[in-house]
Every structure is written in structure tokens, then in C-alpha cells.
Chains A and B, each alone.
Chain A
Amino acid sequence: MTEPSRDTVPSDEILVAFLDGELDPDKRSQLEHLVETDEAVAERMSFLASSNLPFRDAFEPLLHKAPKAELETMLADVLPPLPVKEQARGWSRRSFLAACVGFIAVGIAADRTFLGVQASLRDEPDGSDWRSAVAQYMSLYTADTLGTGPVDVALQTSQLRTVGSKLGLTLTPDQVQLPGATLKRAWMLAYEGKALAQITYLDANQAPMALCIVQSPKGAKAPEIEQRHGMNVVYWSSPTHAFMLIGKEPLEDIKAMSEELRRSITV
């Protein structure tokens, strides 16, 4: 081999690949020879090698900072996907369902679905279509959906703070407790791109129930009742928000619970 000149100083890419053990044996021995015979190459190699830092150790503590328990809970709460049925219509509702799993928290425009729910809804002019979507989604819930683990008040407090802040409300566990029901989780869903808070409970019979809230500037409205998907619904509005309480408990009980909520959540 002839004495290498400046022109043959290998690129940083090649030198780094050498340091990383990514060169094949031929290139590797060529380069070893160069390092021994060419000072410029040796110098550059030594400079680049000073970036051989303890990367693994440096990033190890970050693993311990991960909110492991919360991530585990989150994973347990991700619903198993159902087979997806492609349909010509109903995409906005499917977006709603996909968004149910928390995309909204990061504001991802989720235009995909993982739940193949029949979207047979009509747009209803009186603003009731969000209740229809919620009821449809609720009809898929079981006690297992909401988890059977112990109640974690600190977690609930932080969840409620988060969902409240997205809607311009202050929410605490005390405010949303319902007689005879166990408060479970609060999370953000979306309906037609609008933030929708869902606060979930298990009723006395371990059936899922939920309080849902959206922002609605249409003005205050007194409570009304309706039935959807075999569940009782009480819905009302404040000047700034619309609420619905949905569950399988008898209508009188749901009404009584909704009265508690109307008293405790003032906006």
C-alpha cells in the first residue's frame, strides 16, 4: 500500500463505523493500518473516540423515572380491539371511539378505528347525537372494562384535574362521588373533535355507569330523561357545559344521583 495522503483520510462516518465495530474485516484492517501510518487519521480517530461515553449508564436513571404503575394501569385499560368492519359511513363516530383511548390527551387527530362498532346514528339537530354516541360506547362496557383493582384516590384526583382542565372545570373526587356507586376512572374522549370528559363508576350491581361532560354554550337547561341502549339517561346543561349521567340503575336512582351532581358541580 502506498503512503496515504491527506486525500485518503477516511470520512468521519467510516471512522465512527470503525469505532462502533460496524466495518467488515477487510475495511477494518485497512483502517487499522491507516491509523498506524497516518497521523492525521490517528488524530481524527482519537478525537472521535473521545465521544465514547457511558451512554447506557447515563440513560439508566430515566428508566426508573418512568411512571411504571400508571403505565401498567393505562395498558390494562386499553380495550381489546374488536374486528373492524369497514363501512361507507360513520367515520366520525369511529373517530370518536378510537379517540376514546386517550389520543386526545396529546391532540392526535385519530381518524382510525380499533372498534368495529356499527355506526347507525343519524345526526340529530337537537344536540342529542353526542349522547347517542356515548350510550353506544357505554353499551360495550363491562365491569372488567373499568377494572376491579383497588380505588386509587390520588390517581383519580389527578385524572379529574386533567379532564377538568380540558373543559374549563374544577373537578375533584368528592364532587363527583355518587351514593351507592364506586368512582373508577376519569378520562378524555372526543366527540366530533370536541373534548368529552367521561367519569366512570360501577353501580351497586357492578354495572358500569358514567357521567359525561362536554362544553356547550347553548345555555342552561333543566334535567330531562331518556332511554338509550337499555340504559337510563339524565341530561342537563349549565350555561357553559352539557352533562349526562347514564347507567342501568332504576330511573329514580339515576335522577337522585344527577341531583347530587347538579348541586356539587357548579360552573
Chain B
Amino acid sequence: MIANEQEIRAGLSQYLTRLWRYAVVLSHQRDVADDLVQATCVRALERASQFVPGTRLDRWLFSILHSIWLNEVRSRRVRMGQGFVDADESLVFDGARDTETHIFANQVLRQVQALPEAQRTVVFLAYVEELSYREVADLLEIPIGTVMSRLAAARAKLAASAGVNALEGKG
């Protein structure tokens, strides 16, 4: 059990920034992301004995973070009538590096972040974290068909705005 806790702790240390990034994608907010990662660390260490050795630790940690977000933070914010806040703009814009590549990267980031939560979550997991459909479904505990329909809807939306951007670029 102790060895397992050490293993989880080492894994957490390794994946802290990736967990934080996922928390930002979910919450859109830096301070909530900090707290989500902290709660994830606590929960993961508390449940160290439930981790199955030989399986992917990063996936396990992501799923813990997601369930804390869904069941505790997000639901509470909704209950309290705070709803959802605008994305923390400082997390998107990076004025210091306004090369063309970065402008485009920022545009992609903003478009994904503007998607509804259910869609941006699957886009992030499938295309940024590069999980398979099956892995996304397992992590989010939803049917694979739901993963597919969310990705399709997100893709259609992103494709539509890519078209608009292309037209603007030409104009």
C-alpha cells in the first residue's frame, strides 16, 4: 500500500501540468484549475490502493479530476446559481509571442475553448491528449456513441468557423 502511494505521488508529480491544463479546459479558470488539481492529488492518494498496477496512471488521474469537476465543483457552481464564467482571457492570449504560428494556434485554442463543455472535453481528450474513442468513453464514463456524436458536432462547428476564417483571410 505504501509503495503504491509513492508510485501515485511520483505519477502525480509527473502529470501535474497536464492535469492542470485539463482542469483549465474544463473550468476555464486558473484558480479553479489550481484547486481541482489539488483535490485530485488528495483523492488520488486517498485511493492509491484502487489503482490497478499496469494500467495507465495518467488516465486514472484524469478520470479522478473529471469526476471531481463534474460531481463536486461544477454541480455546486450551478446549484449556487453562479453559472459559468467567461474564459480567463490571459490563458489564451500570449501577446509576447505574436508570430503568425502563434496567432493561428491561439485561434484554434479559442475555438476549442468556445465549444460547449461536453464537446470541448472530447475534442481535448481525443485530439490533444490523443486518447482513442474507447479511452475517452471509459474516462468520461459515457457510451462510445456519445463520444462520436460529440466529436461530430464539434468538428462540424470547427469546420464551419474554419471556412469563415478562410474567407476572411482571402478578403
Contacts and interface: CB of A to CB of B under 8 A. Distances in A.
Interface of A: 11-13, 15-17, 19-20, 22, 47-51, 53-68, 70-72, 74-75, 78, 80-81, 98, 101-103, 105-109, 112, 114
Given A48-B155, A102-B38, A67 B20 contact: yes
B21 A63 contact: yes
Interface of B: 5, 9, 12-13, 16-18, 20-21, 24-25, 31-32, 34-39, 41-42, 45-46, 48, 68, 72-73, 76, 91, 94, 101-102, 104-106, 108-109, 111-112, 123-124, 126-128, 130, 132-133, 145, 148-149, 151-156, 158-159, 162-163, 166
A74 B148 CA distance: 37
B20 A16 contact: no
Contacts of B37: 71, 74
Interface-centre pick from A19, A22, A51 (highest chain B CB count, 10 A):
A51
A61 B109 CA distance: 10
Contacts of B12: 75
B21 A66 contact: yes
B76 A108 contact: yes
B42 A16 contact: no
A44 to B, nearest CB: 9
A45 to B, nearest CB: 11
A17 B126 CA distance: 11
A101 B38 contact: yes
Contacts of A78: 38, 41-42, 45
Contact of A75 (B41, B46, B105, B130): B41
Contact of B17 (A16, A54, A68): A68
A105 B72 CA distance: 13
Nearest to A113: B46
